[in-house]
Amino acid sequence: MLTVEENDRLTRVGPNTPMGELMRRYWQPIAALAELDENPVKLVRLLGESLILYRDRKGTLGLIGDTCPHRRISLEYGIPEDVGLRCPYHGWVFSETGQCVEMPAESPESTFPSRVKITGYLVQDIAGLIFAYLGPDPAPLLPRWDMFVWDNVLRDIGSTIIPCNWLQIMENSLDPTHVEWLHGRFSDYVLERIGRKDLKREFFRVGEGGPVPEGQITGNFDHEKIGFDEFKHGIIKRRVLGGQTEDHPNWRIGHPILFPNVLRVGSNFQYRVPVDDTHTLHIWFTAYPQPPGETVEKQETIPFYHVPLPVDGDGNADWNLMDNNSGQDIAAWVTQGPIADRSQEKLGESDKGIILYRRMLRQQLAIIEDEGEPMNVFRDPAANVCIDLPWEGQEDPWAYARRGLMRRTGQAGKYAPVLRDMVARLDGEEALKGPVH
């Protein structure tokens, strides 16, 4: 339980808020490069600020204030030029730094443009994903996490905007036992609701339930033990599931939560980017390992997909969109409210991962309040060539992918175009028929 004041301190992300200041110390992903192929100008909201992301005709990315300072119209319909973005109203042009470089209606000798500058933030891309940095100078390095630089993988990027605060989404990643219920028992209930009772996996906890009917798969997701370890990039989450021992990679290796707002599960990153206090840009970045002996060429474009919301802000649900883990998770997060009221919660021992994470947030807040540098801010290029992370599938990536990813229930795999292609190629088109299960 948190006080109302502490809940505000950990959740609110606007300029000059404690958490907003912490989040601004990190490069935050804002869009896929492929999104700009269709429309090179995109309105982006990040950490409570309204901005315009654009790619000019020479390929330079810019992230600038959303309003032309001349007559205050939106730059959302700006015209990309060879250099910069032109306001559609009177033609003022702004470079990627936000500097006005052209005012067509003013005298050619006017020095006025040099005195007009709007917000301009740094942007960089890696592996098809565009990141922005809104923090103090000097900007740190854009982290080169392992999946961004692996060879011989295929990648895709999905996103959606979820109408709730970022913290309740992140806390879900420190809460292992929800898997057996939300992605087990509730998942079975969803299949029942959409008329596919035959696909149920009959999840149960040890000691519960009767014999498993013939032909049904038993999903023994019961957690016998959970564990968490702080490490240099965040927290490692471990679990021993029914029938497993501590020698299983689920416990021996576990998977990381990267501070402050990334889950790494399998070969998938889930970024929870605060749009504002009550909306979160959720990005799924996946690198798909390939079968042994197969090589793939580097993709020219990393495909992008949109993930539909299974519930809207009014609680209206589409059960057909809840046959997969992300659909189930999103439904849970949204029903916690725009900002979960932690002054009313009741935590138990199984919530110790959430408490550990909140402690880490507070510790890192204290560091920046003392003008220190928080964790996961990288400045040494030699240490940023490839930042390897532990994950359960690291000993046999293809086996892990074949067993987990290919069912398409995890992450947002139901919608991922590269995964759909892989499933069709390896298991046939029939395997793509819904629902996923």
Structure tokens, 377? 């801010």
- Residue 248 is a binding residue for another protein (CB under 8 A): no
Q: Which of 348, 370, 380, 382 binds another protein (CB under 8 A)?
A: 348
Q: Which is nearer to another protein, 216 or 350 (CB)?
A: 350
Taking the complex as a whole, the smallest distance from the CB of residue 389 to another protein amounts, in Å, to 18
Q: Which is nearer to another protein, 152 or 363 (CB)?
A: 363
Structure tokens, 200? 């149920």
Q: Which of 76, 102, 224, 318 binds another protein (CB under 8 A)?
A: 224
Enter the DSSP assignment of 204.
-
* Selection from 205, 230, 228, 231 nearest residue 218 by Cα: 205
Taking the complex as a whole, the smallest distance from the CB of residue 109 to another protein amounts, in Å, to 58
**If phi over 0 gives left and psi between -120 and 50 gives alpha, with beta otherwise, what is residue 356?**
alpha
Contact partners, residue 108, CB within 8 Å, separation at least 6: none
Taking the complex as a whole, the smallest distance from the CB of residue 12 to another protein amounts, in Å, to 14
Contact partners, residue 189, CB within 8 Å, separation at least 6: none
- Residue 12 is a binding residue for another protein (CB under 8 A): no
Taking the complex as a whole, the smallest distance from the CB of residue 184 to another protein amounts, in Å, to 14
Q: Which of 110, 114, 216, 350 binds another protein (CB under 8 A)?
A: 350
Torsion of CA 321, 325, 326, 327, to 10 degrees: 20
**DSSP letter for each residue of 272-332:** EEEEETTEEEEEEEEEEE--TT---PPPSS--EEEPPPSB-TT--B-GGGGSSHHHHHHHH
- Residue 233 is a binding residue for another protein (CB under 8 A): no
- Residue 8 is a binding residue for another protein (CB under 8 A): no
Structure tokens, 307? 């993930």
Taking the complex as a whole, the smallest distance from the CB of residue 228 to another protein amounts, in Å, to 5
Site string for another protein, 299-338 (x = CB under 8 A): ----------------------------------------
**Binding residues among 169-208 for another protein as defined by CB under 8 A:** 177
Footprint on this chain of another protein (rule: CB under 8 A)? 1-3, 5-6, 9, 177, 223-230, 238, 346-353, 355-356, 358-359, 362-363, 365-366
